[in-house]
A and B are shown apart, each in its own frame.
Chain A
Amino acid sequence: MELFWYIVLVIMLAVYVVLDGYDFGAGIIHLFFAKTEKDKKAITSAIGPFWDANEVWLIASGGVLFFAFPTLYASSFSGFYLPLIMILWLLIFRAIGLELRGQVHNRIWETIWDKAFGVASLLLALFFGVALGNVVRGVNLGMVENGVSTQEAHYFFLPLWNPTFSPQAEHLGIIDWFTLFLGVVSVVALTIHGANWIIFKTNSSINDKLKRVVYILNFVLLALVVVSLLIWHIIEPDPFQNFIQYPFMWLFPIITFIGLFGLFKVRTFKKHGMGFLFSSMFLLGGLASTVASIFPKLLPSTNTVNPSLTLYNVAAHEYGLSVGMNWFFIALVLVIFYMVVQYRVFKGKMDDVGYGEH
């Protein structure tokens, strides 16, 4: 039963990354590459009717985490207190940037909200990579000092950084060179992903330029992935253990690399959705590989006093989990139905939706 909810949670988070990921990427493209008013409009129209529903996947994942794994929810949300609250602030800025920009026709007003939307998207992409890095690296559960827990075994607190910026220091921070590196990977990957979405959903004049951007950034991404595989060993000396034990897990890295290498052909794609498909495969495969490599851990412990948090020691009680399955399946069918309706109505190119005009 725990395993069922674990898979549900991972899938929901993966869907969130793919869907809201293109919103962040579109924001980054908007910040760096959109020069004309028309391009900006095409970009916001391409995500306009979707971003709100995409963000719901984050909220719903949070809800499922709370309900199925309350101990993990309590431990990680309080332990990562500051970055989580900052993510909330950034989500607010991104949303109001998108929603308020078109309400007043004034150049300074528009510039302010364009930048708010773009910068918030960039920082969110960075923060989510950093967050993944923290989960992989683990935390000092129980806040052990000199071999003694100073808190209950599953609680911790991390400041934003420690002066050494080392993932192996005794006193860890949210931001160290390892987590920051994953943040950069995330920014590059999501920029590619967002560009692919814009190519897919618009006839914007920057689409040709974006294809070049995707092509070049893909080399950067490949280099980053190779480096991250190397430094991974420093954090987790034996990252392939699970893959040897459960060979089907090799599927995840294979999907990742199909997505990554497929994108090098971006300039020859006939169908505009192909690039988006490949970058989605990269994100899904990458996330699944990462999660698989630490399975069944959800939050590793960096000390030897307190055990890691696994899906078995943080789950809610059996009855609640099984009764939850009933409503979850009903809800899931409804959610899929809504998505089908939504994407059918707003199918094809979106340049002329006129998002944000009132």
Chain B
Amino acid sequence: MEDMLFYDRMQFAFTITFHYLFPQLTMGLSLMIVYFKWKFLRSKLEKYNEAAKFWMKIFALNFAMGVVTGIPMEFQFGTNWAKFSELTGGIIGQTLAMEGMFSFFLESSFLGLFLFGEKLLGHKLHFVTGFLVFLGSWASGFLIIATHSWMQFPVGYEIMENGKFVLNNFSALFSNPWLWPSYLHNQLASVITSSFVVASIGAFYILNKKHSEFGQLFVKTGVVFGLISSVLVAFPTGDMVAKNVAKHQPVTFAAMEGIFETEQGGSEIVLIGQPNMLEKKLDNKIAVPNILSFLTYQDWDAEIKGLNEFDAKDYPTNVPGLYYSYHIMVGLGTIFIGLMLLATIQLYRKKLYKTKWILWSLLFMLPFPYIANTTGWYTSELGRQPWLVYNLMRTSAGASPTVSSGNTLFTLLGFIGLYLLLGLLFLMLAGKIINKGPHILKH
């Protein structure tokens, strides 16, 4: 039984982690492509259209990867988490079915038109198809996060005698206090990924002295989008998400902040340290007193409950994993703001394209927004453990009762092999597109 649950969790974690490498780029990138196309319509400068077309190629590749790795996600609710699906399907099935009907049809119908229809449609309608693809992908994110929010903070339900969760208030799913902060936080994080990718490729072109006209456009656009999104992801959205956790999931909050003991007169904020689960303390700690209390409650002395106040069986299953995920995300987020701020200052002083060290930093930043997005989701998901539906249904109660561990391990290994191949192909083809670069402009 323990094996079964372990492999079910590993398979979901592995497939969702790999899957979300792609939508996090396409959601943000669709916004930026729409921006390039809009700039083209306004200015009639060919370089904006070429920029849009170049990023459409990267977008198409990522989108295809996102689609093929996304279908297994919907299937796995039933294949690996049958008991969970049976008991909550009447509620989370709503939002998941809506995602299929409202966003997947929209995206898939207009993506074909967007990729192949520029000549057939003309530039204005082509812009509209791009906008609809953007709308579809953001609607998809919204409905997924509505589902996620219900699991974190269940609303609008009642539980029947047979254990089934039954919906009794549809609109509550969308006015869930968990939903909007999480959605905005996640979408901004997606814009961060696309901004850094655009800026990073731009820096590559400038440093490589090839396509440097596009390099400058990409760096400039990436830096401006990057600064705005990096700031907004931390404040107000990240702050609001954290306050939700502090209010509704205090044990999770204690674990992710690394607070083992309740402190009288206000809690410190931990910058560095390793959770020591044997002695229930933080090793090698560097912390600043009272800051956490202030950030959370705007009161230097507010009491924050430590893990010691809770029953060990309700602790998040992997306290160190949760703590590291959260700290990596926050640490990277801080670096993003700093780098983008410096880059913007140099841009304003018209020195950015010659400031080599910033360009190199932008280039090497490419993987880090992916890590920040992933660890952000790990914070959220590990933080919900040991629950599937917070405080109502434990993860151990949700797995498929008849699928043995041998079968799950078999499919997990299959997914690992297949996704390794997909990942290699993706890197190879993305590298090829980037190396070839946008069309050279005729002047």
Contacts and interface: CB of A to CB of B under 8 A. Distances in A.
Interface of A: 48-50, 52-53, 55-56, 58-60, 62-64, 66-68, 70-71, 73-79, 81-82, 84-85, 88-89, 91-92, 95-96, 99-100, 103-104, 143, 151-152, 155-157, 316-317, 319-320, 323-324, 327-328, 331-332, 334-335, 338-339, 341-342, 345-346, 353-355, 358
A78 B74 contact: no
B250 interface: no
Contacts of B401: 78, 151-152, 155
Contacts of A82: 407, 410-411
Contact of B403 (A64, A78, A341): A78
A100 B429 contact: yes
A135 B116 CA distance: 39
Interface of B: 57, 60-61, 64, 67-69, 71-72, 74-75, 77-80, 82-83, 85-91, 93-94, 96-102, 104-106, 108-113, 116-117, 120-121, 160, 164, 166-168, 170, 400-404, 407, 410-411, 414, 418, 422, 425, 429, 432-433
A96 B64 contact: yes
Contact of A85 (B79, B100, B404): B79
Contacts of A355: 116
Given A50-B112, A81-B411, A358-B57, 8 more contacts: A70-B86, A74-B82, A77-B77, A84-B75, A92-B418, A143-B402, A316-B89, A335-B101
B57 A77 contact: no
A68 B93 CA distance: 8
Q: Which 7 A-B pairs have the closest CB atoms?
A: A70-B89, A77-B78, A67-B93, A63-B97, A49-B112, A60-B100, A63-B100
Contacts of B414: 85, 89
Given A66-B78, A67-B89, A56 B104 contact: yes
Contact of B90 (A78, A157, A317, A335): A317
A75 B116 CA distance: 41
A332 B433 CA distance: 37
A327 B101 contact: yes
Nearest to A339: B109
Contacts of A320: 90-91, 93-94, 166-167, 170
Given A66-B93, A327-B98, A345-B117, A104 B109 contact: no
A79 B89 contact: no
Given A81-B400, A143-B402, A331-B101, A324 B94 contact: yes
Contacts of B429: 100, 103-104
A260 to B, nearest CB: 31
Contact of B164 (A317, A331, A354): A317
A56 B100 contact: yes
- Chief secondary structure at chain A's binding surface: helix
B249 to A, nearest CB: 26
B207 to A, nearest CB: 25
A215 to B, nearest CB: 32
A320 B94 CA distance: 8
A71 B418 CA distance: 30
A42 to B, nearest CB: 15
Contacts of B111: 52
Given A48-B116, A49-B116, A96-B64, A73 B78 contact: yes
Given A66-B89, A91-B71, A92-B418, A342 B109 contact: yes
Nearest to A79: B402
Given A56-B104, A96-B425, A74 B78 contact: yes
Contact of A96 (B68, B79, B90, B402): B68
Q: Of residues B89, B98, B164, which shows the largest number of chain A Cβ atoms within 10 Å of its Cβ?
A: B89
